Amino acid sequence: MGSFTPKSFAPLDPQSFSDESKAVVDFIAEYYRNIEKYPVQSKVQPGYLSEKLPDTAPYAPESLDDILKDVSESILPGLTHWQSPNFFAYFQANASTAGFLGEMLCSGLNVVGFNWISSPAATELESIVMDWMGKMLKLPSSFLFSGTGGGVLHGSTCEAVVCTLAAARDKTLEKLGGSENITRLVVYASDQTHVTVKKSAKLIGITKSNFRVIPTSFSTKFSLSPENVQAAIEEDIKAGLVPLYLCGTIGTTACGAVDPIMELGKIAREYKMWFHIDAAYAGSACICPEFRPYLDGVELADSISMNPHKWFLTNMDCCCLWLKQTKFLVDSLSSNSEYLRNNASESNSVVDYKDWQIALSRRFRALKLWIVIRKHGLANLMYHIRSDVDMARRFEALVVADRRFEIVVPRKFALVCFRLKPELESEGSKLNRKLLDAVNSSGRAFMTHGVVGGRFYIRVAIGSTMTEEHHVDDLWMLIKEKAQNCSYSN
């Protein structure tokens, strides 16, 4: 051990807090200014960082300057730059100054609002913001606190799905009268549903063979067919199984497909199943009247979730979950312990969000979403969605105008799915993988891929906060440039 001897130290001294925080603000602002200089997808090799950093913690303190130097020299080269305007991969995680300010306040106040009394403002602001957001999406009042429902902020869609699945499971097991019935419960989703639903079902103890993956196809633009869902349910009932949970998606990850919410909702009602709507990506768009029709039928759902941390200018992490009958969530997730007992909770006049989520502890995420909404206003938030969709439309038109390319699945939001047309269908995958690799390895843009109906294609998700029209045009130029070298024979 070193020879450093600590004296009294003040890890939260307001003056050095202020000075050092401002240095980091400058560091991040400079990062944003230079962000286009980095290769979008990191070019490091596995294990690169362990060669740069010591393998044990330092004994003596180190300076912020030294730490920021290491961030610049060792961390930044190993990042894939999600905030780059040339990031078109997965779905974006669009940060904003407003979201960042909210995160700062959340982290600076550092309260742990597990129940109302532990910080009433954290609970009450969350309930208010959930109603604001629900009203922006024109959710029925049955999902709002001002109506008969309510909402909560989770960290991820997966958490929202795990919690609603558990609520549905416990409600149904109670009705069936025995926990051994857990092996009879069946969950339904499509082959386009996010993999998180399958993972969540497994996590809460649904038998692996009781997770139904309903196939979709080009004929429905990869949206779930109500007839196929109903047929699967009928078959399971005949086999003595119990339909539990159906997940419909608004804006699937692979290709942005939208499931028919109204029809699925009717089926779920008929069979008394829990119906959850996963609007993680495209839920944000539904604040615009022109996209709101995708939500028609939401009144038939039991729960709906969407992620402001994707397309709503809200820094990670933030997932909104609304429920109609919050009682079932609380029944399944509540926990009581003597040290948490307090008059407010026992009066039943307050929300204790620990009973609406997996963990006991929780961050004050509502500040972030509240500031995002206020600093932009609904007007600018709609403007933001529409400008991304316009850019995607522009990109789509460029693809369509070039006869070497084709759109694979029609665009609905700001995700464009396209490919180089192969001479032989069997070569499509190889050809487009080559193009994708060429673009990504250039460092000038980063896209990912999908496969639907056996067809490999390239996904361009537009929506990084700093992306402007010229970035989209540059991307298209880059794709065309790289496509030159992707001859069909190679």
Q: Check residue 39 for interaction with its own copies (CB under 8 A).
A: no
CB of 94 to its own copies, least distance (A): 8
Q: How far is the CB of 267 from its own copies (least distance, A)?
A: 25
CB of 140 to its own copies, least distance (A): 15
Name the one residue in this structure whose structure tokens are 């850019």: 391
How many CB atoms sit inside 10 A of residue 185's CB?
A: 24
Instruction: Identify the residue among 37, 46, 219, 470 touching its own copies (CB under 8 A).
Output: 46
Q: Residue 95 or 475: which CB sits closer to its own copies?
A: 95
Q: Does 61 bind its own copies (CB under 8 A)?
A: yes
DSSP secondary structure letters along 165-211: HHHHHHHHHHHHT-GGGGGGEEEEEETTS-HHHHHHHHHTT--GGGE
Residue 317 lies near its own copies (rule: CB under 8 A)? yes
Verify binding: residue 116, its own copies, rule CB under 8 A: yes
Rule CB under 8 A: say whether 478 interacts with its own copies.
Answer: no
Q: Smallest Cα–Cα separation from 92: which of 319, 396, 388? A: 388
Nearer to its own copies, 129 or 483 (CB): 129
- Applying CB under 8 A, among 40, 130, 152, 158 the residue interacting with its own copies is 158
What are the counts of helices (DSSP H) followed by strands (DSSP E) for the chain? 14, 11
User: Which of 69, 72, 73, 120 touches its own copies by CB under 8 A?
Assistant: 120
Separation in Å, CA 75 to CA 56, 103, 302, 490: 17, 21, 43, 36
CB of 23 to its own copies, least distance (A): 8
Tokens representing 445?
């843009």
Shortest gap between Cβ of 403 and its own copies (angstroms)? 27
Helix, strand, coil shares, percent, the chain, to 5: 50, 15, 35
Judged by CB under 8 A, the stretch of 20-28, 216-224, 227-235, 268-276 that binds its own copies is 20-28
User: Any contact of residue 217 with its own copies (CB under 8 A)?
Assistant: no
Nearer to its own copies, 458 or 486 (CB): 458
Phi, psi (rounded to 5 degrees) for 257? -70, 155
CB of 125 to its own copies, least distance (A): 6
CB nearer to its own copies: pick between 15 and 484:
15
Binding-site string for its own copies from residue 167 to residue 206, where x marks contact by CB under 8 A and - marks none: --x---------xx-xx----------xxx-xx--xxxxx
Residues 389-428 that bind its own copies (CB under 8 A): none
Residue with tokens 């857990």: 182
CB neighbours of residue 391 within 10 Å: 22
Task: Give the shortest CB-342-to-its own copies separation in angstroms.
Answer: 9
Task: Please report how close the Cβ of residue 445 comes to its own copies at its closest, in angstroms.
Answer: 15
Examine residue 135 and tell whether it contacts its own copies (CB under 8 A): yes
58 binds its own copies (CB under 8 A): yes
Contact 352, 114 (CB under 8 A): yes
The least CB distance from residue 477 to its own copies, in Å, is 23
Size of the site for its own copies (CB under 8 A): 164
SS3 358: coil
Question: Out of 30, 227, 290, 423, which residue is the one contacting its own copies (CB under 8 A)?
Answer: 30
Single residue of 207, 220, 228, 230 touching its own copies by CB under 8 A: 207
Spell out the alpha helix ranges (H) of 357-468: 366-401, 428-441
**Which parts of 239-268 interact with its own copies (CB under 8 A)?**
253-254
Nearer to its own copies, 8 or 489 (CB): 8
Q: CB pairs under 8 A, 24+ apart, for 424-431?
A: 427/488, 428/455, 428/456, 429/456, 431/486, 431/488
451 binds its own copies, rule: CB under 8 A = yes
Residue 423 is classified by DSSP as S
The residues in 265-294 that bind its own copies, with binding defined as CB under 8 A, are none
Question: What is the chain's Cα-based Rg?
Answer: 24
50 binds its own copies (CB under 8 A): yes
Residues ≥6 apart with Cβ < 8 Å to 383: none
Q: Are strands 303-306 and 274-278 parallel, antiparallel or unpaired?
A: parallel
Terminal Cα distance for the chain, rounded:
58
Instruction: Name the minimum Å distance from CB 129 to its own copies.
Output: 8
Shorter beta-carbon distance to its own copies: residue 74 or 230: 74
Burial 399-418 (b: 16+ CB within 10 A, else e): beebeebeebbebbbbbbbb
| Nearer of residues 226 and 326 to its own copies, judged by Cβ | 326
Q: At closest approach, how far in Å is the CB of 265 from its own copies?
A: 26
Distance from C-alpha of 352 to C-alpha of 349, rounded to nearest angstrom: 10
Structure-token match 């509540």, residue found: 334
State the minimum distance, in angstroms, from the CB of residue 281 to its own copies.
12
Site pattern 348..387 for its own copies (x: CB under 8 A): -xx-------xxxxxx---x---x-xxxxxxxx-xxx---
Please list every residue from 321 through 350 that binds its own copies, using CB under 8 A: 332-333, 335-339, 344, 347, 349-350
How far apart, in whole angstroms, are the C-alpha atoms of residue 409 and residue 407? 6
